[in-house]
Structure 1
Amino acid sequence: MSGAGEDRVSDGLDVPDSDSGLWVSRVDYIAGWRVARGSADRLNRALLAVGFELSDVRAVASTNEEGRGVVRVAGWPDAVERLALLLEALADSQGGRT
C-alpha cells in the first residue's frame, strides 16, 4: 500500500515523498510534515490499540502544495470498512449521526 504522498524510508529515516509532486523552493514542507507525522503517529497508536494491523490500515503523514501538514488514512477496503463501522458505532453510542 504505497503511493503518491506517502512516507518512505531513506537510510532509516522517514522522509516526505518528493516524487508525489513538484516541490516549491521557500516552502517549508518539512515543518508541515513533522506536525502531520505527530498526528499520524497518534492515530496509528489508536488503531493498534483497537486491534487493527498497520499493514491493513494506517495514517500517513504528508503535506499539501503550501507545505501544510496532511494526514491521510490508507488501507485495504475491508479494513477501512471495519474502521467505518467502529466510528459509526461510537457515534451512535454518543447520540451522533452517521
Structure 2
Amino acid sequence: MEGEGLYDGLDAVEVDFGVWSPGVDYVSGWREARVAADRLNRALLAAGFELSELRASATTTGEGHGVVRLAGWPTVVVRLARCLELAARNPDGGAA
C-alpha cells in the first residue's frame, strides 16, 4: 500500500547472510567492524600479505553487533598462523 514502509508488519527480513530485523542499528556495528577490519588489513599489508590472498571484512550479527571476518587462501592462512605463533613465542619482539 502507498505510504507503508518496506518492512511494515514484518518481524524480520531474510538476506543473503542472515536476518535483518526492523529497528536494529546495523550501521553502527558495521562501522565499528569496518574500522577494525581496515586496521587489520593495513597490518597485513605491512607484514607482507596481499589483500587478494588474505583480507579482513566487516559485517554484523543479527543483533547489529559488528563482526570482522578474516578470509584467505589456506596456504596464506597457514603463513599467518606461523607469524602469530612466532610472535606469541617472542612477545617482546626480541628486545633486550
Interval of TM-score (by shorter of Structure 1 and Structure 2): 0.7 to 0.9
Percent identical pairs in the alignment equals 60
Structure 1, unmatched stretches of 5+, are 1-17
Between structure 1 and structure 2, the one with the greater Rg is 2
Q: Match for 1:26 among 23, 26, 29?
A: 23
1:70 aligns with 2:67: yes
Distance 2:17 2:67 in 1: 13
Equivalent pairs, count: 78
Distance 1:61 1:94 in 2: 28
| CA RMSD in angstroms, aligned pairs only | 1.2
Distance 1:54 1:94 in 2: 25
Distance 1:89 1:32 in 2: 32
- TM-score of the superposition, structure 1-length normalised? 0.76
Distance 1:94 1:56 in 2: 26
Query: For residues 30-41 of structure 1, what are the structure 2 equivalents within 5 Å?
Result: 30-41=27-38
Distance 2:52 2:87 in 1: 23
Query: For residues 1-98 of structure 1, what are the structure 2 equivalents within 5 Å?
Result: 18-94=15-91
Secondary structure (helix, strand or coil) at the match of 1:53 reads coil
Structure 2, unmatched stretches of 5+, are 1-14
